[in-house]
Structure 1
Amino acid sequence: MLHKDFEIAVNKLPEEQRKQKPDQDKLGFGQYYADHMFTMRWNRQDGWHDAQIEPYGNISLDPAAMVLHYGQAIFEGMKAYRSNDGRILLFRPLDNFARMNQSALRMCMPRFPEERVLQALKALIYLDQDWVPSEPGATLYIRPTMVAIEPHLGLRSAEEYLFYIINSPVGAYYSEGFSPTKIYVEDSYVRAVPGGVGFAKTAGNYAASLKAQVEAHNKGFTQVLWLDAVEHKYIEEVGTSNIFFVINDVLVTPPLGGSILPGITRDSVLKLAEEWEIPVEERRLTIGEVIQAAEDGSLQESFGTGTAAVISPVGELTYCEKTYTIAGGGIGPLSQRFYDAIQEIQFGAREDSQNWVVPVC
């Protein structure tokens, strides 16, 4: 049930109670939170209701809340950008909300009215506009989340949900910033299986990836590259990103087959590649093919794509304890071109030929 006409109440935090803004040169990622958040609730009787912008604060859950026992939790990652002329811009927000609704369907959770929630998000950001960083490269990270809050022990879909949005000023996702990353190819653990929930941005997917990620980090790697769960040979995605390879001047990326996330940045890269007339192949490719291309010199570069880091050049790939250097360990020309173009569009410094940018104010 979608209640498109719900009212949005606003409860502002008094000025004297608002938090001191952090130093924009030391933001890190996900450490600070803006003064307000948006919340709304759903139940089977009333649909979406109690929509409000309120002071950022703790959420009270019954110990029997179903999210804690059966894992009905989904989220999204978006950003707001401050342009050089002071405007605040969003990048493809309705695409994020549409993807979140697809996650909701997969997890047996209620869909929400995307346009109305976008209006609420704009109002929330406008209220906390001083939290949108002005330093180059810094942004306001936006985290919409939905969790099952009905208190019930027994496996079924919940009948009560909380949806909320919190905002966090952030710097670079990786400590190295836009620099080549070191990727470890995981051939033991698996992230997702065909027919599962790999395409949904649900909390359990990320919990399942932590063991491999921790082990990779302990070995000095930035991220894990996942292989398919059946044959352990087909490339899927990196822990926080979709993955691209440039092989013999062709941009190659795994297809969306239900076990990888349909990334918004991934789609942006594909659309820009089409606009720039760059040859693209969305196809299954094996780790063996990638290693062979690295050995014979036809692998020219590789990069990950995601909202948090935008473009993450891959400088090294390690598989079966052997390390392969990519693009001389540096940043490839296509990685740089996509990074520059997407960032310039997001910050309003380049013509938005795809109509991706949505102004807040």
Structure 2
Amino acid sequence: MTVTVPGPTLGVVGGGQLGRMLGEAAAPLGVDIVVLDPTPDCPASAVADQIVGGFDDPEAMAELAARADALTFEIELADPDLLDELAAEEGIAVHPSPDALRTIEDKLVQKDTFGEAGIPIPPFHRVDDAADLRDALDEFGSVMLKARTGGYDGRGNVPVSGPDEAEAAIEEVGGPAMAEAFVDFERELSVIGVRGDDEIRTFPAGENVHEEEILRETVVPARTTDEVREEADRVAREVLSHLPGRGVFGIELFETAAGDVLVNEVAPRPHNSGHWTIEGALTSQFEQHVRAVLGWPLGATTRRSPTVMANVLGTVDESQPARLGGLDDALAESGVSLHWYGKDEVRPLRKMGHLTAVGGDDADLELLARARELRDGLRFD
């Protein structure tokens, strides 16, 4: 294809922080962004036009398609059936494919698909009721019970260690679920992959540090062996080969104590663990997603330098207007960048922004410690 600028308009279902960063990456390419989100003045509205409407609202989705040359999504709540209808009726390209969204939005379907493809995954069990959960406990011992749809940042995940906890766990999840055997892992990894028209590219594997099921930091390169990083890349490419459509995918992985790499979960969109790419790679995951969805040539995924990303979470006891202070040290630090997501309200553990620290010969404990220190020095007034 021939690329010209000013470029096309990209319609995005979802206008949260991912939509905002997509808009920031699209502007230098001459690409306009229109987002659909039910929250007025959503974070992405600062850098994109917004249509206020639900993700399953046919009229709002039709308006989005009418204003765009291509469609994508930054949230799994996008309705794949509506996206398919728009693709057929309006002749508009939708990427990643709605079929990829169907596969990924249901964790059981996702695991079934990868298991049938021979991709390494933890053992799992379908759970429709407490009896199913007790069967899983008999088979695996302790498990993580996961809601099949809608869960994120630990929501919808319940650890279960014994049959006497089954009824309460089922009630807490609140719907169809799957039980996954606990993995004896050394560390959690992720690979951000991108599918173009006829190629797959991957960013270097990162190491993810979680607390209370929420990502706190990503360290790149992952602090593991070359062999494990290469295996993580191989597994990620295998995952991408089984997901249709163009775009960026976040692939979360476990490195086991034996050195194996297992797929945990996949997101059909840019991912929190890929935010490091904005400063840490030659092309960010957000620019890659815009390029891929539009069918443009992909950028380089080469790492610029060791990088640490630290999430800025809501350190409050209850909801309040969002006002972040204590920024002086972070802004004065060489190699440190702040990304504020523009959310009006801060809630406990809500993702409000992130810091990125780059530099040094290795993404070692010193760089990670400095990023944490600067992040922890921020406060919500």
TM-score by length of 1: 0.30
Higher relative contact order (CA 8 A, sep 6+): 1
TM-score by length of 2: 0.29
* More helix per residue: 2
